Structure 1
Amino acid sequence: MKNALITASTKGMGRAIAIAFAHEGVNLAICARNENDLAAFKAELLAVNPGIKVFTAATDVSVKAQVLQFAQSAEEQLGAISIIVNNAGIYEPTSILDDTDDAFEKSINTNVGAAYHLYRYFGKKMIAAKEGHLFNICSVAALNPIAAAGTYSVTKFALLGLTKVMRLEMQEYGVKVTAIIPGSTLTSSWDGVKVEKDSMVLPEDIASAIINIYHISPGANVDEIIIKPAGGQI
């Protein structure tokens, strides 16, 4: 049985991805900041598939020490981790000039740092095992920056760049790396904004893409996949 680690797992895309992997019979290590949310979601996942193991840890992924503790504990509880989904991210709808003083550090640590530290922790172990698949949830803002979300765009550029380097480092060892690049997706980032559900990408669409990519043949890799609303960006 395979083991997957997913960051920011109780809401939005992370939640949908965890449920999809539970249906696949994959053990899960999930994190979020709220312990009550994690406990409730663990029960839900075990109801989806009572045959899997679910490890939870309250984690602030902007803090390196907490990220590494989550990684180590997940490994101790489940065994070798062969699937990583770097889903954690924060979206601040402000220009760079209007950012708060700590906005850049908070955003870079959350949107890029967590993925970097998890890659450093698990990368050589995956190389030794000659298997693994790392998914980084990027954004179309990495391709077409948004002035009204300046720092977010910068950090998603950085995450896409990190993903490309990871792929180059891992490809000769049989370890796969995929950038998932969603457009306007119905997550909590849109709370308070009136939008039509049917005009947006749904978290389940992202989860479905990841599961299908995970199941492709051993000799193939999806480097990047862009999933945008059929009618264009919101």
Structure 2
Amino acid sequence: MKNALITGATKGIGRAVSIAFAKQGINLSICSRNEQELSDFAKELQQINPQIKVFTTLADCSKLADVKNFAVFTEKNMGFVDIIVNNVGMYKHVSILNDSDDSFQKQIDTNLMPAYELYRFFGKQMVSVGKGHIFNICSVASLNPIAVAGVYSVTKYALLGLNKVMRLEMQEHGVKVTAVIPGSTLTDSWKGVEVDKNTMVLPEDVASAITNILGMSAGANVDEVIIRPAPGQI
């Protein structure tokens, strides 16, 4: 039975991936900032598959101490972590010139730092065992910047850059690294905006891509997977 760690697991893509993994019999270590949501979701996952273990940590992944605590807790309870899904992130719809003074650091700490720190924490063990798979949830803004989401675009560009470095470091050691690059996805980022879900990527689509990639042969690595809305970006 494999073990997976997922950041920001109670909503959106993280939630969908957690459910998909539970159905596949993968043990889960998940975190969230909301204790009640975390507890309720853990029970839901156990109902989906009573055979798996679900470990929860209350964590604000924009805080280094919380990220490290989550990593230590996960290793203590799970041992080897086969899969890391760096999902946690924040989207801010504002140009760089009009952004708040604290926005750059906050988005770096949320969209980039957790992936970097979890890689440093678990990477050497993956190398020593010669297996593992890291998924970094990027964005089409990693490829084509969005001027009205300036700092977000910068941090997502950086996350894709980190993904490429990870992959080069890991490829000779049997560890896989994949950048998942979704376009307009129906998550809480769109709360309050009226949208047609049939014109968007669903979190379940991203989860399906990840589970399919995990099912590939040992010799295949998907460097990047881009999932855009069929009618184009919203």
Q: Could you tell me the TM-score, scaled by structure 2's length? A: 0.99
- Measure the CA separation in 2 of the matches of 1:222 and 1:142: 17
Partner of 1:18: 18
Matches within 5 A, 1:18-57: 18-57=18-57
- Measure the CA separation in 2 of the matches of 1:82 and 1:65: 23
Q: Secondary structure at the match of 1:38?
A: helix
Letter in 2 for 1:89: G
- Measure the CA separation in 2 of the matches of 1:100 and 1:58: 27
Deviation at 1:65, TM superposition (A): 1.2
Deviations 1:143-194, CA, capped at 9 Å, x for gaps: 1100000000000000000000000000000000000000000000000111
- Measure the CA separation in 2 of the matches of 1:150 and 1:44: 37
Partner of 1:138: 138
Partner of 1:153: 153
Q: How much is the aligned-residue C-alpha RMSD, in angstroms?
A: 0.4
Residue 180 in structure 1 maps to residue 177 in structure 2: no
Q: Secondary structure at the match of 1:124?
A: helix
Q: Secondary structure at the match of 1:97?
A: coil
Q: Could you tell me the TM-score, scaled by structure 1's length? A: 0.99
- The answer to which of 178-187 and 70-79 deviates more is 70-79
- Measure the CA separation in 1 of the matches of 2:63 and 2:128: 27
- Measure the CA separation in 2 of the matches of 1:125 and 1:64: 20
List alignment gaps of at least 5 residues for structure 2. none
Q: How many residues align?
A: 234
Deviation at 1:77, TM superposition (A): 1.1
- Measure the CA separation in 1 of the matches of 2:201 and 2:161: 24
Contact 1:90 1:111 in 2 (8 A): yes
- Measure the CA separation in 1 of the matches of 2:153 and 2:32: 23
Percent identity between the aligned chains? 65
List alignment gaps of at least 5 residues for structure 1. none
Deviation at 1:75, TM superposition (A): 1.1
Q: 4+ residue stretches of structure 1 with deviation over 3 A? A: none
Contact 1:14 1:87 in 2 (8 A): yes
- Measure the CA separation in 2 of the matches of 1:62 and 1:164: 22
- Measure the CA separation in 2 of the matches of 1:51 and 1:91: 35
Deviations 1:22-60, CA, capped at 9 Å, x for gaps: 001000000010010000000000000000000000101
Partner of 1:58: 58
Deviations 1:69-91, CA, capped at 9 Å, x for gaps: 10110111122111000000000
Letter in 2 for 1:233: Q
